Structures are given as C-alpha cells and as structure tokens.
Amino acid sequence: MTVEAMTIENAGIADAAEILALQKLAYQAEAELYGDDAIPPLTQTLAGLEEEFADARVLKAMAGGRIVGSVRGRVEDGVCRVGRLMVHPDLQGRGIGSRLLRRLEALFPAGSRFELFTGHKSAGNLRLYERLGYRETRRAGVHAGLTLVFLDKGDRPIA
C-alpha cells in the first residue's frame, strides 16, 4: 500500500465493515502495549459501529481503493469528542493520522473545542496530539495497567 493520491472522504455506513476490520488491525499494538486484548476498539461489534454513524462524523482515508485510516467525531455538550483515530499499521508515521484529524477539525467552526484521549503508555499518540495543538487536561485510571490521558484543543464550545 502507498499513500500517493490518498484522499480523505466522508465514510458511510457501507464502509463500516472495512473500518471495523482496520480498527481491529490497527488497535492490536495498543492491546499488546497494555496487555489487554479486551480494549473497546477490539471488542466493538459491527452493529455497534453502525450505530455510531447516526450521530458521529466518520472520515476515511483512501489509498489504492482501500480504507487505510479513519477517525470519528461526535458533538457532545458543545465539545467535539474525537475517537478512534487509526491508520493501517504498515502506513503509520506518514502523516495520515495528522491529515485525518485536521480534516475532522475543519468540519467544525473556527475556535471549536475538541477532546480526545489515549493511554498513558501511547507515546507516539501523545506526541502526535501535542504536535497538533492538543494539551493534557486530566488523567483517569481504568485499571492498574492503564491510565487514560485526556487532551483538549480549542477554546469555545461548538454551538
């Protein structure tokens, strides 16, 4: 797979099965990092993902006729909750995740607020988010081996 001529497009419910397959592949590294193969991205069902299309913006990165990345954003309490930013493992580190996140942010009014989270051991994710202007706001323990790090960007709620 190559990223030449990669496009970022709105995903539709017809893309759900391919996005779910990519999600399960992309989140294997996170599961290994935390020693937990029951993390929500790996246990989500197709029906569960399809339900998200009702109230979330879902984007997909396309290259070579395949989905190679995806991200979701849902407005809740005036904040865009960003979730499941993923890139095919063979294509990570090539700017696809940055492009997906920037495109999602561009769908909302200037100055909007965005929030996302990642695990405390996910150094690459934390570097990416900080490079894109996200700042840590809080931490929440899930279990002995996992603390979620919440990051925020922007200064005002989405109307």
- Residue 41 clears pLDDT 80, i.e. is over it: yes
pLDDT at 4: 66
Q: Which residues of 65-88 are buried (b: 16+ CB within 10 A; e: fewer)?
A: eebbbbbbbebeeebbbbbbbbbb
Nearest to 80 by CA among 63, 60, 65, 58: 58
More confident residue, 145 or 130: 130
The pLDDT score that the predictor gives to residue 3 is 62
Report residue 157's pLDDT band, with 50, 70 and 90 as the boundaries: confident
Q: What is the distance between the alpha carbons of residues 153 and 116, in angstroms, rounded to a whole number?
A: 9
If one compares 39 and 157, the residue with the highest pLDDT of the two is 39
Q: Which tokens in the block code for residue 10?
A: 């709105």
Check residue 159 and give its pLDDT. 65
- Is the Cβ–Cβ distance between 35 and 145 less than 8 Å? yes
| Model confidence band, residue 158 (pLDDT cutoffs 50, 70, 90) | confident
Mean pLDDT of the chain: 93
Q: What is the pLDDT of residues 73-96, one digit of tens each?
A: 999 988 999 999 999 999 999 999
Q: What is the DSSP string of 77-127?
A: TTEEEEEEEEE-GGGTTSSHHHHHHHHHHHTS-TTB-EEEEEETT-HHHHH
| pLDDT tens column, 105-124 | 999 887 889 999 999 999 99
Sorted by where each starts, the structural domains of the chain and their CATH numbers stand as 7-153 (3.40.630.30)
